[in-house]
Every structure is written in structure tokens, then in C-alpha cells.
Copies of this chain bind each other. A is one copy, B any other.
Amino acid sequence: MCELSLNDYINEQCQLVDAALDSLLPAEDESPETIHQAMRYSIFAGGKRMRPVLCLAAAEACDGLAVNALVPACAVEMMHTYSLIHDDLPAMDNDDLRRGKPTSHKVYGEGIAILAGDALLTEAFAVIAQVDDTERYTVRDYVKELAATGGSKMLIGGQVLDLEGEKKGLTAPDIRAVYEGKTAALLTASLRLGAMSANATEAQLEAITEFGYNLGLAFQIIDDILDLTASTEELGKTAGKDLDAQKSTYPALVGIEQARIEAKLRTQAAMDALQAFTPEKRARLEEIADYLLNRKY
């Protein structure tokens, strides 16, 4: 369906995103150097850039240009990276390894890691403030979207529920609330902000939102399955952490096979939401959804 293979497409988009991130972040030799080094260390630690790629692909699905979605794509990646730095801290998930590299606090110490997360979160808003208005959406809409997504009822709320759920034995609805907050929210916002940069219609934005919500749930279920089944080398982060932390996850609750079925159903629901787009326009997002469902790490 698509001219480029998915692999080549992702590589091309990642290059665009990396160049934009590099130009938007303060240089390593700007004072105070430590904080700028720490910000860049985590941003360029080999992340998959899933959220920025979804942002650009959503813009294209809505007849826009990927290049016009680069500003929100970088903002969501900064927000995502801040949340990883803070989640990895000893007071939270206490993880030493992320994307195959030592986590920020292992390299820079806890104080600088906290501040590097703070700085990336703040920079996400400095970046989103640079977005161009379109006919339907102004910078105010983008800032509101990013702030609501990152806030205490969504991204941070999910992490709170996750933290509080350890050793507690959550129910399926509780686990879904964690997934919605810590994963689906920012993933959906990535897609929505990309669609907004393409001046998406209300119907397009609704379809993209529905796609993102279901994709986000599927993605987190697969993530939790892989935590149980893949090796630390494959994941680039410590495998089996959830079991050790006695975290309630969907596969731990219902078993790996049932969880995989749920992930498939969610992926199908995501695909169904895209029917509002022509086959040509939705092809890339479908490919990405399929790829995320079947990934091995």
C-alpha cells in the first residue's frame, strides 16, 4: 500500500525527528553544561521514537505534511522522555537500565536526573509554543492538549495508580485506568497533535483519537507481555521487573494468551476507527498498529 517499506519510513521519519530535536534542545556546551548533557543523554539514548512517528503519520493521514508536525512531535518526545527519567528513579520504578544504557540517575546522580526530567518537561512547552496556527487550531489548543495529557489525571495519574498498585492486586478496570493514563494518553495526544498540525476536521480528529486510545491499550498490554517473555538484552531494559515489583499487569492477571487476544482486539478496534480515512491515507497507521502488535521487543 505504501511506497516506502515501514522500516524505511520509520527510519526516514526518525532522522527528521532527531534533527529537529537536536536543533530545538540547548547545546551541550551551554551553561549549565551538566543539565544540557543530561537532557540530551536521555533524548538521544536510542528510543524508538514511536510517539513522534505516530504524530507525523497522523498528520499525513489527515492530508498534511510530516514536516509541519515536527514541532509537536518533538514536544511529545520530550514529555515522554521526562516521564521515563522520573519513572526510572529509585523512588519510583528504580530501574538501572533503559534502552540498553544506564538510566539518567545512574549516570548523573538523582538530583540532576530529577532536574533533567523537569527541564525536558518545561522544554516540551517551550517547543509546543512554537507551533504554527492552522485554520482550526491555535497554539492555545496545542498547549492545552499537551498540558492535559501530561497532567495529574492522565500521564502522571497513570504513574500514581501504577505506583500505588504495586503489591495490591489491581482489578482489570484498575489496570485499564493505569494503561489509559501512563500509555494511551500521550500516545493519543501524539496522534491528535499531528492531526491538528494538518488542520484535521472534527471527524478526522475523533477517528484519530479512537485509534490512539485502542492502540495505546494494545501497546501497553504487549509491553507487559514482553516484560514477562523477552530478555533484558532484547528489551534494552531490565526484564521481569513487573513481577519483581509485584505490579498488577493485564497478562499477570489473565495470563499471556488471554492478554494477547485482548491486544489483538484492541488493535482491531484501532484499525476500525480508521475507516473514516481512505485506504491510501490510513495504510501507514494500520502498518504501524500491526507492527506494534507483533513486535518481539
Contact = CB atoms under 8 A, between A and B. Distances in A.
A91 B223 CA distance: 30
Interface string A134-161: 0000111001101110111100110111
22 contacts: A26-B152, A31-B153, A32-B152, A32-B157, A35-B152, A35-B156, A39-B152, A86-B114, A86-B118, A91-B113, A111-B163, A115-B160, A118-B121, A119-B151, A121-B122, A122-B147, A122-B151, A125-B147, A126-B147, A128-B143, A139-B140, A143-B143
A122 B86 CA distance: 14
A276 interface: no
A110 B86 CA distance: 11
Nearest to A39: B152
B114 A32 contact: no
A40 to B, nearest CB: 11
Given A129-B143, A160-B115, A153 B121 contact: no
Contacts of A271: none
Interface string A1-45: 000000000000000000000000010001110111001000000
A62 B16 CA distance: 44
Nearest to A111: B91
Interface of A: 26, 30-32, 34-36, 39, 82, 86, 89, 91-92, 109-115, 117-119, 121-123, 125-126, 128-129, 138-140, 143-144, 146-148, 150-153, 156-157, 159-161, 163-164, 177
A38 to B, nearest CB: 9
Contact of A122 (B30, B109, B150): B150
B126 A148 contact: yes
Contacts of A114: 86, 89, 91-92, 114
A183 to B, nearest CB: 16
- Copies of this protein chain in the complex: 2
B86 A159 contact: no
B111 A152 contact: no
A92 B111 contact: yes
A140 B129 contact: yes
Contact of A32 (B82, B147, B164): B164
A108 B261 CA distance: 38
Nearest to A177: B31
A153 B35 CA distance: 9
Contact of A115 (B110, B125, B126, B156): B156
Nearest to A157: B32
A119 B126 CA distance: 17
